[in-house]
Every structure is written in C-alpha cells, then in structure tokens.
A and B are shown apart, each in its own frame.
Chain A
Amino acid sequence: MGYTKEEKAMIWLDSFPLDRAKKAAALRLAREPYALAARFAALERALAAELGEGSVAAMRASLADEGYLRGLFASYEREGIVCVTCFSPLYPEALRAAEDPPLVLYCKGDVSLLKERKFAIVGSRRTPPHILRRTERLAEGLSRAFVIVTGHADGGDSAAIAGALASGKLIVVLAFGIARIAEAENAALLQKAGERGLLVSEYLPGQTARRYTFPARNRIIAGLSDGVLVVSGGEKSGTRITAHCAYALGRDVFAFPYAAGDPLGAGCNKLIKEYAKLAEDLVDISSAFGIHLCEGEKAPLTPQEERVLACMGGEPVHISALATASGMKEAELAPVLTLLSVKKLAVSCGGNRWGKV
C-alpha cells in the first residue's frame, strides 16, 4: 500500500506513545505535517518543551535509523493492518467532526466500508436474551442500507456483530490494538468480523485495553455513524457516552424502550426521556433517514404458533402464564416454543420464561 509523505509522517508520529493532546501540539508546531520530520532539528527545542525530553530523544533516534519506518510498515503489513490517516481519501469525513479525531485509524479488513453510510448499534454486556435476538435481527435488516458500526464487547455489541456478519457490512471499533484480538472475551467472533467486515482501532496494534480506552473508543463509534441505536444499558452504562457523543455531533440517537424500573434498560429509558427516539423496529429507524426498510419475509406460521406469539408481549413471559393465556398445556407448548425459537421469533430467557423477538 502506498502512502503519501503526509500519511507517512502521520504514521511515524502516531508510532510514539503520546497522548492525543501532545500529538496535536506537535502538529501545531510543525504547521505542515511532513515538516515535522523534515525540519525536526529546527523544531527540536520547541518540541522538547511540549512533549518532554524522552519522547523527543526517541523521535530523534528513529529519524537517525533508516530502517525504522520500513520496519514499522513491514510489521503492519505482516499483521494485515492498513493505516488510514487523516490525509487519506478513505478517512471518514463524519469522523473529523468528532472531538480529537484520531490521526491514524489502524484497520484490518475491507477498508472501503469506511466510505459507506454507517449506523451504530451499541449495547451493554448485560443484555436480556430477547433483546439480543432483537438486536441481531435489526442489525441484519439495517445492514441492507447501512454499514453497522459497533464495539467488541459481549452482549449487545456481539449481537450486532452476529447480525451484520453475514452481509459483511460491519465495522467493529476496538478499545485496544488490533494485534490483541486473540485475548478478547469473544475472540472467535472478532476474528470473523476482521475477515468479513472491518476492524478499526485508533491504538497501536500492541496496545492493551485500559479503563480510559473504552470511552475514547465510544467517541469514534459515534463520530463514524449517521445514527446510533442503544439497545441496552444501565444508568451508568458506557453506551450513554456513545449516545451523548452522537447527540453532541447532531446525529440521530435511538433507544429500545424498557419496562419502568428494569435496571438493564434504565439507561435506554433515560436517553428516551432526554433526547433519543424510541425505536422498536426497522421502520422506526430507517424512516428517520428517509429510506424504507421492511422486515424480511416471515416464515409461515401455524395457527398454534400465531396463538402463542399473540400471547407474548415485550417482556419475557413464564411458560405457565403462556399456558393459561393460550389455553394449551405446558407439555404441548414446549415443541411450539422450540419451533418458534428455531424460526428466531421467540427466545428462551432463562427460568422457563420466553421472550418475543
């Protein structure tokens, strides 16, 4: 992959473990990005005041070493990592509006996805099973018009990945370096996402996840996307940060409604109270963008299945309540419910309770 000299300068600058403010300060000093390397000797004193002696010494050493940049590019190539810098035509315009847009996005997979229309789906690790299935189906539907952007955690994020994986229109934004995916809690899923979709991280490939990398990652998810759907999250969930970032950027924010008092969805309800739009299905979201997406063909249902589905509401129902409502015996219900879950219309939520998807 050929990089321009501006891009090379960015990749070089980003290869030093500096925080975002320091990188910005260095660029301000250099005025022209590639000047940073070219006129390093002249800038050295001013840089030392901004970045500290140690970093400047490392930069000086790297400039003296001819193999430094070549080694850097070779190691990225070996890992299959493509660097999309803020000077690249692939760099998403929408992200420039975000607070402190990253200089370099380290990418693995299909980078052309960065140029397409994007929609983010985020959720908490603790997401009820029926919401997981709902998220999966919604992500699948939305991926017909959008590239789905999400995080890498268990729960809501993973459901969004699973839904969009088949179409490959998927961007997973990581809170750690791309070389670290094998250590993640759902490494197998991320591996697949890298093969079929795109993995993106603003961190150097070897960086591990830290407490502060998660909220920083969330600003990228929000910055990349035209809209954000929050599928689950408690009052202190990180999904609220993503929503706030998106709202601040003027993007559309949607949230699934939850029953009053449900701690797993208190964050969603609060978002709806504040500014988010209530979203229940594909139409609620797609119509906000002036397009029309509808649910795929429904599998034909038997009258029994119709009856059971009609007895299920938004919240999971216990099988004995279903039996009373549908007038069937529990033993008769078991096959019907299993078939419904095979058809992905219902899901077992634990404790013999079933939720409608």
Chain B
Amino acid sequence: MLSKVTSFALVGLDGVPVTAETDINNGMPSYELVGLPDAAVKESRERVRSALKNSGRKFPVTKITVNLAPADIKKEGSAFDLAIAVGILKATDQLHADCGRTVFLGELALDGALRPVAGILPLLISAKAAGYTDFVIPAGNAAEAAYIEGISVVAAADLSSVIDHLSGFKPLPPVAARAYQKGARRESKFDMAYVKGQATAKRAIEVAVSGGHNILLIGPPGTGKTMLARCLPGIMPDMTFEEALEVTKIHSVAGILGAGGIVEVRPFRSPHHTASTVSMCGGGTRTVKPGEISLAHHGVLFLDEMPEYNRSTLEALRQPLEDGVITVTRSGGAVTFPANFMLCASMNPCPCGNYGSADRVCTCTPAAIRKYRARVSGPLLDRIDIQVEVDSVKYDDLAGVALGEGSAAVKKRVERAREIQRERFGASETNSDMGEKELKAFCPLDRESEEILRLSFESLKLSARARSRIIKVARTIADMAESERIRPEHILEAVSYRKYDNMA
C-alpha cells in the first residue's frame, strides 16, 4: 500500500514542500530511502525503526521504499523523521487518518520522543505562504511557532501522542498564539549608566545609533571599548514584529534560537578575529548556512581589534555593508541572506597601544603606526562614518558611585531622531543610507558651513571621500538637535569624528 505525507525542506531561508512517499511491497525485508538524502536523512531508518518499536508499533518486515519528492533537491537534516514514521504507519495500516495537507516536522529519538529541529520558523512561514495550515511539530519548537497567525500548529512530545492525535483518540490542543510585544525585555546588564566617564565616546555612540552610522572605537586595551559596544543594542530602537521575525528566521536556521521563541533583543555578534570568511559571510558545502553578518541582521556586528582580522575577511564585509544583503553561491545553488547590521569595530591607536595616553609613553615610530593602521583598508574605513577615541579612565572616575545617564533615556532621544528620519525618507531608511541625490535634497549647506568644511579639509588633510560621510553625520547631529538646517557646529562636530584621518 502507498502513503503520502508532507514535510518541508529548508533551502537558505525558505522552505520547499517535500512529500514522503512510502510504499510497502512483498519481498525480501529491506528499507530503501531515495530522493537525494544526506547521511542524517539516511540514518533516519534506524531512528524510525526504534522509535516505532518503542512506541508500541510494528516496523514491518517487508520491502519498504521511501521516496522524498521532489527527488532533485538535496535533503538534509533530521526533520523528515516524523513524516517518514507517519508514512510507514499509514502504509502498513497501523494508522487510519487523513493527513493530506498536514505538515510533519521533527526528529525522532530512539524511545519515540520528538526532538526540536532548526529552522522551524522559516519553514512555517514558507508553508503558510504555500497554503498549508496544519502542522505537527516537536514540543521544543512550540515557542517559535506561537508568533505566526492563521495556522494551526500542534506541538507533540513524542510519536505516540502524534498517533493518538491523528487517530482522534486523544487530540492535542493547538499551540496558543502569542502576540509580539515590542521591547518586552528591556533590562540588560549592559547599560550606558555603568560606563564611567567617556563622555565623548558615549556621545559618538548616540550619534551613530541615531543615524544608523557604523562606528570605530579607537583606544588602548582595557578602556571599555567592548563595554561601550555592548551597550549599543540597548539604545537602538526596539525591533518591529517584522524585524524580529526576520531575525528569528535567520537564528532559527542557524539553530541558535533561545527558549524565548522569538528574538526580542537586537542581536549582538562578536566573532573572534580568527573567524574565517565563510563563518563571517555564510556558506557551507552544499546547503548554505547564514554567517555572522546575517546573524547580526538588525543588530550589531562587533569586531574587536579589527586590524587582527584576516584581511580578506574584512574586505568581504564591504559589499554587504553597502547592500544590506549577502548572496552566497555554492554548487548547490545561490542563497541570499539579509545582512543589514550596524558595524562597530575597535582597535588600538598604535601597535603598543599607548598613543595619546597621558601617563604611559608610546614607543611607536610614525612608520610603525602607519603600518599598523594600513592593516585596515581605506575602502572599508570609508564605510565607517564615525571614528572616535576611547581613553583610559582614571581610577577616581571608576570608583565614583554616581551613575551616568541610563540607556533608556538615550534610547528615547534616539527614537526621536529616527522618527525625524522616517518622516524624511519614509520606510526604515536612515541618514547613513543617503545617496548623492538625497544628500543634495536634504543636506543643503549654507555658505558658512560650506566654508568651514572647506577649511577643515585643507588644514586637517581629510580624504576627499570623507566629505559625504561628514555631511551625513552632520545631518544626524542636526536631527538630534531637531534643527531643520545643518549648522556650522554640526559640521564641526561631524569633522571631529574623523579621528582616524587626522591623527598623526
């Protein structure tokens, strides 16, 4: 007898329907699994056999053929286990139920329990778009399914309860829908209030977040660069549901989703400087997994000690920084992942780290400093609008009890600045996304500002490419001051954030 059960396979961030066709024939007992399965799929035979037996069902001693259709897509992972098990039960008349358009996802344990699988959220979203409304998934994935409206999802703990549910013996309740609450998890152990001193750097960070600018923190080791960077997600505006869903999809595919079900806090990713280009941008042998830049989508990618990173890894960031997406091409096909992140990088001012220190002496020659800085390419630096110095904090400042302004207050101002930008551009564009056309339209400079900008370039030896960056940052500073026009002091403050250009 033949049975057909639906499941879904993940291709990049999208799901494709896969039908598990099971046929039972007379003949020598055997089990054939076809349809381009990888090792994990092939091994489902052993898991399904034991799971059926330990759930009190029979694994038929006949010739079994399972075909995962369409046969030309490579099937990976363990999410087909449940569909195959249900297919065998139906084909051997152990289960009489109509599950025509129900989608089964889940990995089986040998005792019949259902284990959570990665990528449930994007699969559900794709399946819903394809018209599927009924799902059976592992209980461990219930949280992420709760946020999708208009579908009926059943979360089961083991194979027996799935069978009982399907046969109507003991129906399971559908997973209760949950509404997304914006900014529900507000508390973070990284708060601007705990960063002592560093008024200049804090201000720069606020400007950066307000206008969506990338930022480079320059300072000796142990001055709180990492702590400042950690504060970034806390002062960024809360994610909308759509944004959260997008982030959750990526994290779900990568299998790093927490128990919360949906990612509520903007991601903060800090890959180590030994990270490879593939781990940074995404890749894999046949199926493609998202990289760090995609995991940092709608959040912050923090590169600590940027010059230590592999040159080619850093260069690979240039295109996604510009486009907000990355397309990874492999023999198995091309996949596009979103990668719209804020880049926050840190570095020492010089090889010995003491340049600009008040009490320690820098022993580097100008040539050594130039060489160190040249490790970060000009084109990449060009995409970082704000460069600011973080200096060593005096003991008195650290020991002081007074807390600075908290992240919540800063966030309020950031949200106001973003609102102004939303009115200007519509959608979710920020000042940093402006092209030449928008620059002309929204950033006219009066004669005084123009003159100051010209003088700055002359005497501070800024690179010509810095010009539009400075104007964009000045636009953000003007927005923060709720000023319609860009005033000279806004230009001057923006110029002061080109530290890398005019140091030494």
Q: Which residues of A contact B (CB under 8 A)?
A: 125-126, 129, 154-155, 185, 263-264, 316, 318-320, 323, 329-331, 334-339, 341-344, 348-353
Contacts of B468 in A (CB 8 A): none
A residues less than 8 Å from B496 (CB atoms): 334-335, 337-338
- How does the 8 Å CB contact mask read for B457-481 relative to A, with 1 for contact and 0 for none? 0011000000000000000000000
Is B355 touching A351 in the complex (CB atoms < 8 A)? yes
Distance between B166 CB and nearest chain A CB, rounded to angstroms: 65
Residue contact A331 to B199, C-beta cutoff 8 Å: yes
The stretch that binds A, out of B101-109, B294-302, B356-364, is B356-364
Which of these binds chain A: B261-269, B285-293, B487-495?
B487-495
Judge if B310 is at the interface, Cβ distance under 8 Å. no
| CB of B459 to closest CB in A, whole Å | 5
List chain B residues, Cβ under 8 A from A264.
361
Of chain B, the residue at the smallest CB distance from A264 is: B361
Contact pick for A353, options B197, B358, B456, B499, CB 8 Å: B358
Which one of A129, A318, A334, A342 contacts B358 once the chains associate, using CB atoms below 8 Å? A318
Given A125-B366, A335-B489, A351-B358, residue A341 in contact with residue B200 (CB < 8 A): no
Question: Is the pair A350, B389 in contact by a Cβ cutoff of 8 Å?
Answer: yes
Q: In the bound complex, do residue B503 and residue A348 qualify as a contact, i.e. CB atoms below 8 Å apart?
A: yes
CB within 8 A of B355: which of A125, A342, A350? A350
Give bound CA distance, A146 to B452, whole Å: 33
CB closest residue in chain A, given B397: A320
Whether B391 lies near A341 (C-beta < 8 A) is no
Interface contact A348-B502, CB-CB below 8 Å:
yes
B28 at the interface (CB under 8 A from A): no
Q: Which of B430-462 contact A (CB under 8 A)?
A: 452, 455-456, 459-460
Residue of A nearest to B502 (CB): A348
B356 in complex: contacting residue of A334, A339, A343, A353, CB < 8 Å: A353
B219 beta carbon closer than 8 Å to chain A: yes
Shortest distance from the beta carbon of B370 to any chain A beta carbon, whole Å: 8
Shortest CB-to-CB span from B53 to chain A, Å, is: 70
Q: Which of B357, B391, B490 has the most CB of A within 10 A?
A: B391
Smallest beta-carbon distance A329→chain B, Å: 8
Q: Are B391 and A334 in contact (CB under 8 A)?
A: no
Closest chain A CB from B88 CB (angstroms): 69
Are B200 and A319 neighbours in the complex by a CB distance under 8 Å? yes
Contact B493 A352 (CB under 8 A): no
* B391 adjacent to A353 (CB under 8 Å): yes
Is there contact, CB below 8 Å, between B356 and A350? yes
Q: Which of B385-417 contact A (CB under 8 A)?
A: 389, 391-392
A350 to B366, CA, bound (A): 13
Contact yes or no, B452 A125, CB < 8 A: no
Contact across chains for A330 and B365 when beta carbons are under 8 A apart: no
27 pairs from A and B in contact (CB 8 Å cutoff): A125-B367, A126-B364, A126-B365, A129-B504, A154-B367, A155-B365, A185-B366, A318-B391, A319-B199, A319-B200, A320-B199, A334-B492, A334-B493, A335-B489, A335-B490, A338-B495, A339-B452, A341-B459, A341-B460, A342-B456, A342-B492, A349-B356, A350-B504, A351-B349, A351-B391, A352-B389, A353-B356
Against A, the Cβ 8 Å flags (1 = close, 0 = not) of B350-382 are 000001111001111111000000000000000
- B203 interface residue (CB < 8 Å to A): yes
Complex CA distance for A284 and B460, rounded to whole angstroms: 28
Task: Give the total of B residues in contact with A, Cβ under 8 Å.
Answer: 37
Task: Tell me, in angstroms, the Cα distance from A334 to B197 when the chains sit together.
Answer: 16
Which residues of B have CB within 8 Å of A330? 199-200, 203
Contact A331 B367 (CB under 8 A): no
Residue of A nearest to B497 (CB): A334
For B201, the closest partner residue in chain A by CB is A352
Between A126, A264, A342, the greatest number of chain B beta carbons within 10 A of the residue's beta carbon is seen for A342
A320 proximity list for chain B (CB < 8 A): 197, 199
> Which of A331, A342, A352 touches B460 (beta carbons < 8 Å)?
A342
Complex Cα distance, B268 from A276, in Å, reads: 58
Whether the Cβ atoms of A351 and B460 lie closer than 8 Å is: no
B289-320 contact mask (Cβ, 8 Å, vs A): 1 or 0: 00000000000000000000000000000000
Q: Is the CB of B503 within 8 A of A350?
A: yes
Most A CB contacts (10 A, CB to CB) among B220, B349, B493 go to B493
Q: Output the least CB separation between B242 and chain A (Å).
A: 34
Q: Which residues of A contact B363 (CB under 8 A)?
A: 126
Quick one: which of B197, B357, B504 contacts A351, CB cutoff 8 A? B357
Do the beta carbons of A338 and B456 come within 8 Å of each other?
A: yes
Residue numbers in A under 8 Å from B366 (CB-CB): 125-126, 154-155, 185
A contact residues around B219 at 8 Å (CB): 351
Q: Which residues of A contact B502 (CB under 8 A)?
A: 341, 348
**Which residues in B have their C-beta under 8 angstroms from that of A263?**
361
Known: A185-B367, A350-B503. 14 other contacts (CB 8 A): A126-B362, A154-B367, A155-B366, A320-B197, A334-B203, A337-B496, A338-B493, A339-B492, A343-B459, A344-B459, A351-B349, A351-B355, A352-B389, A353-B391
* Bound CA–CA A320/B196 (angstroms): 12
Instruction: For residue A348, give the distance in angstroms from its CB to the closest CB of chain B.
Output: 7
Residues of chain A within 8 A (CB-CB) of B492 are 334-336, 338-339, 342
Complex CA gap A341/B458 in Å reads 11
Task: Output the least CB separation between A260 and chain B (Å).
Answer: 14
Collect the chain B residues with CB atoms within 8 Å of residue A323's CB: 199
Q: How many Å lie between the Cα of A178 and that of B321 in the bound state?
A: 45
A142 to B361: give the CA distance in the assembly, Å: 31
